[in-house]
Structure 1
Amino acid sequence: MSWIDYAQSLLDKSWLGTLLGIAGIVFGVLTYLWTRKRTSLAYVHLGEHLLGSASDALPQQIVVQYNGISIPRLTKSIVILWNNGENTVNGEDIVAKDPLRFHVGDDGQILSILILKSSRAVNDFSFLSTPSAKANEEVFTFNFLDANDGVVVEILHTSTDRKPRIKGTLKGLPQGFRNLGQFIRPKPQKSKPGKLQPLGSILLPIGVALTGFLTAVYGPRPWFLANSDTGLLVYSFLGVVVGMWLNNRFWTRRKYPKSLHTEALE
């Protein structure tokens, strides 16, 4: 058989057209992701009540003071903010009449705020003390943020709300910071020599799917796949398993840049 006849025989197969179509869609999506240019700032948060709770303050028998002032509860919130786009965001674009600021619940006040980690010192991320600042807000600024530049901020406050927000206005970014919700604490990373578990967890489902596809096309099919009824059940079950795996990978992924990870987040 000549190569022309062989190529013609491949083109006659219906699965090849489907495979080329899927490959074209994947290539188009990847090309879009690689070439897109967005201006976007995002943040995720995590909070917990160290003393007291959301519904009740500390008992009267317990007195906790901060700088000589009694507080009803102590809440710790962690905020990770970063440049989630591809375009550089400049600090000079912050609107002076509506500065960027961290905001906790209206029923509390910020006791302390500090930077746990910064992607780069040249970003010059800092807090500003302004006379008009509210007790439950802290104004901040920065020089610039390139793609994936950001900071990890820890806020100690007395609010019942554990979910801080970022307010303020930036020129060219009317939607402001995107709240991507609460992040899941990543498990402590224990490196074991000779084992590539994260890579294996990604490649294993892909290998299983590829093996199943090649077997369905070239190899002999088992009797339970040859039968239309049982075959439909098997394929449905595999689809549910793959869907659950993809859903788990999506919701447990690290939403913030790897450069901002610190042991304090584990």
Structure 2
Amino acid sequence: MLNFLNQGWIGSLIGFIGVLFALYSHYKNRKINELTYTFKSERVVGKNDKAPEDIEIIFKGKSVERVTNTQMTVWNSGNVTIEGKNIVEKDPLRIEISEGQEIISATILEKSRDANDFIIKIDENNPNILEVKFDYLDASEGAVIEILHTDNKNFYKLKGSIKGIKPFNSFPTYESSSIRILPYFTLLVVSVLGIGVAINTASSNTITIMMLILNILGLLVTTINFVFLKNKRRKKPKKLII
């Protein structure tokens, strides 16, 4: 079985492996400018269809239909510093709820460090908009914002434009990375077992050789995709997990 490893195709395979890892090295070392946010919402109090019309909910001195708590975490998920001065003036960084609804209060629960000068403020003219500003954010720096509001949506967006950054990345907090990794892990195990079977097979016929080649390629592709997927998960910085 080991005799066929000396054949000419093994050099081509090694060359192919070199190309794959060269591409991977380029991917790892490139500059990444991106901002990511995640959110979760839950209703604190509110009326339902069965509630009598004369029931009134007073929250912080205001009469409201409901109170929803939304926590949004915003951070620099790239490897290049994001400068606050690059926020486009005509399209400022902000969190918006539905028009006609109101942000009752907003608080920064956690931030990477005070030097970032991370600031939030409810727009005086538009109570459904929360302004977001900062001086700069180095890699993995950001803040956790808690918003109490009257909207009943379960999906909220961070809006605005920052020079050099494409549309912001977003994912819900309930997304499980283990579910997305499972297919790659399964293929990885199958590829390893296939290589073991091919190497230990006594014959060196064409089918055996092809099985070995395919399993090696499967192992390489799975490993690289697994690493890429790990990078794309954009894990929330430990400092901002509350």
Does the CA-based 8 Å contact 2:112-2:240 persist in structure 1? no
What is the number of residues matched between the two proteins?
A: 220
CA root-mean-square deviation: 4.1
Quote the offset at 1:95 in angstroms: 3.1
Q: Spell out, residue by residue over 1:143-176, the C-alpha distance to the aligned partner (whole angstroms, 9 max, x if none).
A: 1011221112121111121222122232333x4x
Aligned pairs (5 A) from 1:10-159: 10-12=5-7, 14=9, 17-18=12-13, 20-21=15-16, 23-52=17-46, 56=48, 59-60=51-52, 62-128=55-121, 130-132=123-125, 134-159=126-151
> CA separation in 1, counterparts of 2:192 and 2:79?
33
> CA separation in 2, counterparts of 1:57 and 1:95?
43
2:171 match: secondary structure: strand
Aligned pairs (5 A) from 1:178-193: 178-184=168-174
Q: 1:26 to 1:257 in 2, by over 3 A?
A: farther
TM-score (norm 1): 0.65
The answer to whether 1:214 aligns with 2:196 is yes
User: What is the identity percentage for the equivalent residue pairs of Structure 1 and Structure 2?
Assistant: 27
Amino acid at match of 1:39: N
Structure 2 gaps of 5+ residues are: 178-183
Q: Spell out, residue by residue over 1:203-222, the C-alpha distance to the aligned partner (whole angstroms, 9 max, x if none).
A: 89756643431332x2138x
TM-score (norm 2): 0.71
Quote the offset at 1:30 in angstroms: 2.1
Does the CA-based 8 Å contact 1:45-1:77 persist in structure 2? yes
> CA separation in 2, counterparts of 1:85 and 1:130?
29
Quote the offset at 1:137 in angstroms: 0.8
Structure 1 gaps of 5+ residues are: 1-5, 188-201
> CA separation in 2, counterparts of 1:211 and 1:13?
24
Quote the offset at 1:186 in angstroms: 7.0
Does the CA-based 8 Å contact 1:105-1:164 persist in structure 2? no
Quote the offset at 1:90 in angstroms: 0.8
Q: Which moved more, 1:110-119 or 1:24-33?
A: 24-33
1:184 match: secondary structure: coil
Q: Spell out, residue by residue over 1:33-56, the C-alpha distance to the aligned partner (whole angstroms, 9 max, x if none).
A: 222113221212222223348xx5
